Amino acid sequence: MKGIFDTKRNSGYDDEIAVRYHFPKQYRAVAETLVGDRIIYREPQRNGGRRAYVATAKVVAVEDDPSRPGYAYAVVAEYQEFDEPVPFSPDGRYWETALLLVADPSRVGAFLQGKSIRTIPESDFAAIVRAGLSLTLAADNAIRLELDPKHVDDRTQELLDLPIQEQERRIEQILMNRKIREAGFRRKVCDAYDNRCAITGLRIVNGGGKSEAQAAHIWSVAEGGPDVVQNGIALSATVHWLFDRHLISLTDDYRILVSHNKVPSELRTLFAKQMDRIHLPADERLWPHPAYVARHREKFSGIV
């Protein structure tokens, strides 16, 4: 059995949904049944929500909130945003089987009252997630996302070649496939930065729509960083290499820090405008998260 976590913007809960979900005690029993399994985040229409399913994650623990009696956290990992929000009821048909049984569609909202955490069948989960990853899995995007035969192993190619129904049946394998996860992250980050290196400002797009810019993680996945745009930055290959080794970093106001004693002299011209703010996404909500930047800068400071 899989689950749904409803998440509202400005809800008042202590959520950071890529790592934790905050909820009152009446949902604890249901949340604990989902430990070790995956959930889907859904935004209801309230508080300006998109009335759509927006991401998936794995619940790894349920813990008491030490500062607020009667509340708890679902600790999550493997958070993955969908390519695009999946509408709650496309063409008037609900994804969740339980909602199809509500005789009067106008009563669906009432039916969901008190069910902000709920379980759903495996088949519902698989269908929603497959719809959420449709752009990443589309054959037309293979070259752009380096999911073409030149870049993937046989096991990944097998998953990509399956028809939609078979992909739904093997959705767990798709979610666990690192190459497919990286492709989805790359698409979102490069789109946010208009395929432009945030530091050099260069924008080069080759055949098949493939950007020369790469998607770098600010807080590395190996250390627990999530695959979200706010934890990414588009960089050219050389700059990405330097960034991953913490030879360059960012200030709180998105200016460049350079370890001049460690960066080869022939590369320093890349940072001639280091006092200028880097190129950032047009949507301010997609800018690098300050907490992730601070984590990266801590390691830079240890190298300088």
Fold of 2-116: ph1033 like fold (3.10.590)
DSSP states along the chain? -EEEEE--TT-SS--BTTTEEEEEGGGHHHHHHTTTSEEEEEE-SGGG--SEEEEEEEEEEEEE-TTSTTEEEEEEEEEEEEEEEEESSGGG--SSHHHHT-SSGGGHHHHTTT-SEEEE-HHHHHHHHHHHTHHHH-GGGTTTTT-STTTS-HHHHHHHHS-HHHHHHTHHHHHH-HHHHHHHHHHHHHHHTTTB-TTT--B-B-GGG-BS-EEEESS-GGGT--BSGGGEEEE-HHHHHHHHTTSEEE-TTSBEEE-TTTS-GGGGGGGTTTTSBPP--SSGGGSPPHHHHHHHHHHHHHH-
pLDDT score recorded for residue 156: 97
CA 32 to chain centre: 24
Which pLDDT does position 187 carry in this prediction? 92
Taking only the tens place, the pLDDT of each residue in 129-186 is 999 999 999 999 999 899 999 999 999 999 999 999 999 999 999 999 999 999 999 9
State pLDDT tens for residues 58-86: 999 999 999 999 999 999 999 999 999 99
Bridge partner residues of 42 (DSSP):
6, 53
- CA atoms of 186 and 228, how far apart (whole Å): 10
Phi/psi at 4 (5° precision): -120, 135
Helix axes 178-192, 154-161, angle to 10 degrees: 70
- d(CA 202, CA 192) in angstroms, rounded, equals 15
Q: Return the sign of the alpha-carbon dihedral for residues 183, 188, 190, 194.
A: positive
pLDDT of residue 61: 98
Distance CA 286, CA 189 (A): 9
Q: How far apart are CA 271 and CA 264, in angstroms?
A: 12
Q: Count CB atoms within 10 A of the CB of residue 43.
A: 20
> pLDDT digits over 201-235, tens only?
889 888 777 888 999 999 998 888 889 999 999 99
CB atoms within 10 A of CB 110: 10
Query: Which residue reads 């998607």 in tokens?
Result: 215
- Report which of 100, 95, 157 is spatially closest to residue 126, judged by C-alpha positions: 95
Say how far apart CA 277 and CA 252 lie, in whole Å: 10
**Would the pLDDT of 303 be above 90?**
no
Q: pLDDT category, 304, cuts 50, 70, 90?
A: low
Q: How far apart are CA 80 and CA 194, in angstroms?
A: 21
What mean pLDDT do residues 88-100 have? Answer: 92
pLDDT, tens digit, for every residue of 239-291?
A: 999 999 999 999 999 999 988 788 887 787 788 777 789 999 999 999 999 99
Bridge partners of 196, per DSSP, are: 203
**Domain limits, the chain:** 2-116, 139-303
